[in-house]
Structure 1
C-alpha cells in the first residue's frame, strides 16, 4: 500500500506540472497527449456499439438521442479510438474541471467543513456525525446500525486510514410494535458521485424533523421503516473527497499492476462494487470486465468485497425472498419492499434488468413506479439493459435485490456531473429527488400495485366558524376537501402510462385502511367522478374525538380498480375555549399487517 501511495503522489505531481503548462481551455484540435486524461464526446452507431465502448472505456454519460457518449480516456486511448474509426472530440469544459480537481488533489487543500470546493456535501465523518446526532437526539425515531466494514478496516487499517464502519440509519416510530414494510435507500457505492450521500443524509434529516409536523412523514414512520446507508463505499469516497474521480473501493490487491504513470485516474485499483453483487455476476454479454485496473472491474468472485457482503447480508435481514429461482419467475402483485441506489450522473431512473435487454417478469409494474419517480424528478425512465436506455451491466445492486429477493429496485442517476455544483444541487436536484424518495416510502407496502392508482395531491379541512381557524372544537362538523389525480407520470419515454378516471375516494381516522379501520366514502364535488383529476368532499363528524392532533388518511381509486397510496392531513381538536395540545392522538390497538421480519444479527456479521 505504501508503494502505491508514493506512486500516486508522484504521478499527481507530474500531472500538476502538465496542468501548469496547459492552457485554461482546450481546443478540439489540440494534441490530447498534453494531458494525462481527457474527457471526450464519442459518436456511436447503435446499442451494440455503445456496449462495446463501455466494455473498454470509462463511460460517464450516454445520450441515445444524439448517439453520443461522454468518455474519459488516456492519451493512448484517445488515439486508440481514432484508430478504431471513431472521431473523439475533446470536451473542453469537462476536461478543465477534471484538471482543476486533480490540482486540488495535488495541493491537499482542506476546508473547515464539507468536501473541499463543495461545502454543501458532507464528508464521510460529517455524515456519520449527523447520523449519530439524529439517533442520540431522537432515539424513539432513529437508530444507527453497523452493518459491516470497509475493505481497509477489514485489513486492519493502513498508514493514512483505519477504514470505516458501514453505517445504516433506521428511521421509524419504534414505539409501534407492528412489523413494518421497508424502504431501503443506499448511496455513494461509486465514490466520486458527490450528490448521492448528501441526498440520503438530508432525506434522513427530513424524516426525523417531520414526525408530528408533516402528516405524510408521520404516518410513514408509524407504518413503515426506512433504512438508509449514505456511504456504501466510505474508503473510496474519502479518496474522491480529495479531488480524485475515484469510483471503486480501495482493494489494493492488484495495485502494482495498475501503476500507470500517465494516468493515476485511469489506473486506479479496486473493485467496482456495483458489478460485484452475487446475482448474474460477470455474465456473458455484460460490459463488466475482468481487467483489475478497469473502472468496472467486477472483482475475483461474486460478493468478494466486504462492502458488497455487508449490503447483501443487511438486505436479507429485512427483505423476504419473494421471487422464484428462475429468470422468468414473477414477483407476486402483493409483495412488499422498495430499494433505491443513488448514483450520478445522467438524469435517468433505471430498473432491472441491467444484465439483459430482455424485460423482467415484472417489467410493467416496475415501469409504472419508475414513471412516478420520473414525475417528481423530470427524468426519463427505462430498463437499464434495454435498447436505447443505457448499456448492459451485470452484478449490480438493483439487479441483485430484485433478482434474488423480488424487491422493487431502482437506480437513480442524479444530475449532470459527478462533482455537481452546490447551486445546481440545491436548486435542480434536491427537492425533486426528496419528493421521489418520499413517494417510494409511501408505496413500500405494495410497490407492484399502489403506483398504478391515483394520488391525493391536496387535502384540507375547514369549518364555518372558529376562534382559531387551524383548530376544530370537538363535536364540530368539518369539511374535508381533497384533490385526486391519476395523471402524475414522468416524461413519456419508452411508452406512456394509461390514465384513468377517478372512481372512488375514501378516508380513515388515525389508522390506515389496511390495518382494519373502516373507511368512510367521500363524494365528488361536481356531482360525478368522471375525469382523471377530481375534487372530493366529505363532512366529518368529530363527536367524541379526544383533544390533540388527529390524522386523516385519504386514498383514491381509479376506473381500473387500482387504489393509490394514502395522503395524510392533520386535524387539531380542542375542547371548547381551549387550545389543542400538540400531541398526536393514535388509534387504539391497531391490527398489525403481517409482514415478514427474519431475526438476523445486525452486528456486521450478517
Structure 2
C-alpha cells in the first residue's frame, strides 16, 4: 500500500444527454472506421462540430465503435459530435446527413485566447482556474486554515512519474476540524478526470472555499467539518488538463506509450482504467488512439494507481467483489466523481444493466442529490455500457455509496452558465452528499429539516429567556422517479451534542406539529428552549425528523450565543 505524505501547509429530457453511448475511436482503419491520425502533424483544431442526422438508430452502433457523441436529440434524430475530414466522409457513407454547427465549430476549432484584460484563469474562460492556480488555492487554504485543512500528496501524474518531465503531484485537500477526534465519516470527491471538462474542477474547488469560508458562521457547515471529513481531489488528471487549457478537446492522460508519443490522440482514458470489471463488457476500447482506450492493463496509469490506493486507504472494504452481496446498511462514506456534461446523477452499475445489490438505497440518495440540481437520476447504463470506471470501482470493490455527477451542457462551459446555473444548482447537491456520509444508505430515506426560523440568537448569560424556533420537515424532496413517502411521525432537537455522539448520552427534546397532528409528509414543527441554564459562549441546536417508516433524516442546525453584554439585537431569522 502506498504511504501517503501529509503536508502542513430537473429530470433532463433525452434530447440532451452528452456521451450517451460508451463509444470509442479505434486505431486507423480498424473495424472499417475512418483513419485517425497518430502523428504530431495532425492539427488538433482541424475539426467541425456537426449535427449528424442518422438514417435509423441501428447505425448508431456503428458510430459507437469510434467516437463519443456530445449529445443525442432523439426526437430530432441527430447526434452532436466533433469530426475530422475523414470521419465526416465515413459518416456520410453510413447515410448520415451532416449539418455544421458554425457557432460551436468556431469556438472549438481554434486555440483558446485570453479575453481583453484577463489576467487569470484558462484563456478565454476566466472563471476556471488553471492547474497551477488550483494548487495555489489549495496552498492558501491550508496556510490560512491549518486547523481545518491539510494537503495530502497521493502520487504523481504520468509525466512526473514516467514521462521525464516535471508533471504534477496528485493532491488531495482534506477538510475537517482536526481539534475534534475521529473516526469521522468521509466524503471523497474527485473532479475533471476527463481533462476537457472545465467545470467540475472549478466547482469542486469552490466547494472547498464555501466550506472554509462558512465555517463558524453557518451552523450546518460547522457541524459538517467538526464531525465529518471532506477529501477533495480537485485535479484528477493534471497533465491532460494542461493540454485542454490550450483549447484542445483533450480527454485522456498524456501517456506517450499509446498511439504515438507526440499524437494528440495519445494517452489512456483514466475513467476506463480502474480495476473493477476492467475491459469486461465492451464498455471501453482496445485501440490506443481511441477516446476510451482503457490502457494495456487495469491500473496501468499512475494517476489511477494513486486514486485507487488512496480511496482504498480511507474507506473500509465492507463487501466482496461480486455482483450480489450488499454492503451493510450501516456503511459510512460517499464517493463522488464530478464530470461534464449531461445533467445527470448516475450510479453503479455501469458495466451491466443488472441492478447493484444496494440498489434501493443507492437510488434514494441519487434521487435526493438530483432534487437540488434538477438533473436526471439514473443507473449509469443510461450512458450505455462502460467498464473500468471510478464509481463501479468504489462501490464494487469497497461497498461505498458511489456516484458520478455530469454537470452542464458543454465541455468548455461558458462562464455565464457556470456562474449562474451550474454552481448554484450543484452546490446544494454536494453539501447534501457530504452531510449524508454518516449513513448514506439510511439517512436519505428520512425527512429533511428545512426553513429553520428562530428568535433570540443572542442572549445575556443568566437571563431567563425562552428560545422559540420552528422548522419544516419534508419527506418528499426527490427527483426522477417515485420514492416511498411517509407521514412525519416525530421531531426532536438536541443542544450542543448531536444525536450520533456515543461518548455521552445526548438528550433529545421533542418538538410538536404546528397544526397539532403528525398526519402529513410535510410538517411544520415548533420547539422551545429555556436558555437560563446555558453557559457563556456559542451553542448549537440540532433538529431532525423521523417519518412513519422509522427513517430519521439528516440534522439541520442553528447557533445561539450566550454573551455577557445586555446590549442585544434579537432578530427573527429564517434560513433554508
1:142 aligns to 2:152 (yes or no): no
Distance 1:112 1:7 in 2: 33
Structure 2 portions without partners, runs of 5+: 1-37, 570-576
Per-residue deviation, 1:111: 5.3
Distance 1:488 1:416, change over 3 A: same
Distance across 2 between alignment mates of 1:509 and 1:335:
26
Distance 2:254 2:62 in 1: 26
Residue 117 (str. 1) matches residue 110 (str. 2) = no
Contact in 2 for aligned 1:110/1:116 (Cα 8 Å): no
Q: What is the match of residue 508 of structure 1?
A: 494
2:308 maps to: 312
Provide the residue aligned with 1:280 in structure 2.
Answer: 277
Mapped to 1, the partners of 2:90 and 2:196 lie a distance apart of 26
Cα displacement (A) at 1:430: 0.3
Secondary structure of the residue aligned to 2:434 is helix
1:477 to 2:474 alignment:
no
Whole-angstrom CA distance in 2 between matches of 1:154 and 1:257: 16
Question: Quick one: structure 1 residues 407 and 489, their matched pair in 2 at CA, closer, same or farther if it must change by over 3 Å?
Answer: same
Taking structure 2 as the reference length, the TM-score comes to: 0.87
Partner SS for 2:383:
coil
Equivalent position to 2:354, from 333, 355, 358: 358
Q: Across the two proteins, how many residue pairs are aligned to each other?
A: 529
2:458 and 2:562 in contact (8 A); partners too: no
In structure 2, the residue matched to 1:39 is 50
Per the TM alignment, residue 72 of structure 1 is displaced from its structure 2 partner at its CA by 2.1
Residues 84 and 11 of structure 1: CA distance in aligned 2, closer, same or farther (over 3 Å):
closer
CA shift, 1:518, in A, is 2.2
* Compared CA separation, residues 255 and 530, structure 1 to 2 (3 A): same
**Which residue among 91, 100, 109 is the counterpart of 2:101?**
91
Q: 2:35 matched to which residue of 1?
A: none
Q: Does 2:178 align with 1:167?
A: no
| Structure 2 counterparts to residues 435-584 of structure 1, below 5 A | 435-463=428-456, 470-471=458-459, 473-474=461-462, 475-490=464-479, 492=480, 495-515=481-501, 516-575=505-564, 577=566
> Is the Cα–Cα contact under 8 Å of residues 448 and 554 in structure 2 kept in the other structure?
yes
Measured against aligned partners, the alpha-carbon deviations of 1:7-65 in whole angstroms (never above 9, x if no partner) come to 64x543xx77xxxxxxxxxxxxxxxxxx544433444856x865653332122234556
Match of 1:70 among 69, 80, 84: 80
CA distance in 2, matches of 1:65, 1:473: 66
Following the alignment from structure 2 to structure 1, what is the Cα–Cα distance between the partners of residues 188 and 342? 22
How far the C-alpha of 1:315 sits from its partner, in A, is 0.4
Q: Which residue of 1 aligns with 2:180?
A: 176
Distance 1:459 1:314 in 2: 38
Higher mean Cα deviation, 215-224 or 539-548? 539-548
Q: Does 1:104 align with 2:112?
A: yes
User: For residues 238 and 257 of structure 1, what CA distance do their matches in structure 2 show?
Assistant: 17
Instruction: State the Cα distance separating 1:73 from its structure 2 match.
Output: 2.2
Task: Describe the SS at the equivalent of 1:411.
Answer: strand
CA distance in 2, matches of 1:136, 1:258: 38
Cα offsets for 1:506-555 (capped at 9, x unmatched): 11111211114121110001101111211111111223211222111111
Unaligned ranges ≥5, structure 1 = 1-5, 17-34, 464-468, 581-606
Alpha-carbon separation, structure 2, partners of 1:252 and 1:390: 29
Kept in 1: contact 2:59–2:94 (CA 8 A)? no
Determine helix, strand or coil for the equivalent of 2:532: coil
**Does the C-alpha gap of structure 1 residues 578 and 279 become closer, same or farther in structure 2, counting only changes over 3 Å?**
same
Match of 1:415 in 2: 408
**CA–CA separation in structure 2 for the residues paired with 1:461 and 1:126:** 41
Contact 1:51–1:287 (CA<8 Å) still a contact in 2?
no
* Residue equivalent to 1:333: 329
Distance of aligned partners of 1:171 and 1:329 in 2 relative to their CA distance in 1, 3 Å threshold: same
Conservation of the 8 A alpha-carbon contact between 1:40 and 1:73:
no
1:344 counterpart (330, 340, 345): 340
Consecutive aligned runs of 4 or more in structure 1 exceeding 6 Å deviation: 107-110
Q: Which residue of 2 aligns with 1:213?
A: 217
Contact 2:329 2:441 in 1 (8 A): yes
Is contact 2:115–2:124 with CA below 8 Å preserved after alignment?
Answer: no
Question: Residues 50, 553 of structure 1: CA spacing in aligned structure 2 closer, same or farther, 3 A cutoff?
Answer: farther
Do the aligned residues in 1 keep the contact of 2:187 with 2:333 (CA within 8 Å)? yes
1:365 and 1:545 map into 2 onto residues whose CA distance is: 39
Give the equivalent residue in structure 1 for 2:65.
55
**Residue 27 of structure 1: aligned partner:** none
After superposition, the C-alpha distances for 1:417-445 in whole angstroms (9 at most, x for unaligned) are 01111110000100121110000011001
Deviation string 1:193-224 (CA, Å, 9 cap, x unpaired) is: 00011001111111111111111100001110
Aligned to 1:200: 204
User: Structure 1 residues 439 and 45 mapped into 2: Cα distance closer, same or farther (>3 Å)?
Assistant: farther
| C-alpha contact 1:44 1:50 (8 A) present in aligned 2 | no
The equivalent residue for 2:370 is 374
- Structure 1: how far apart are the matches of 2:176 and 2:59? 46
Task: Say yes or no: does 1:153 pair with 2:194.
Answer: no
- 3-state DSSP class of the match of 1:373? helix
Contact 2:50–2:98 (Cα < 8 Å) also in 1: no
CA drift at 1:258: 7.9
Aligned-pair CA distance for 1:362: 1.3
Secondary structure of the structure 2 residue equivalent to 1:134: helix
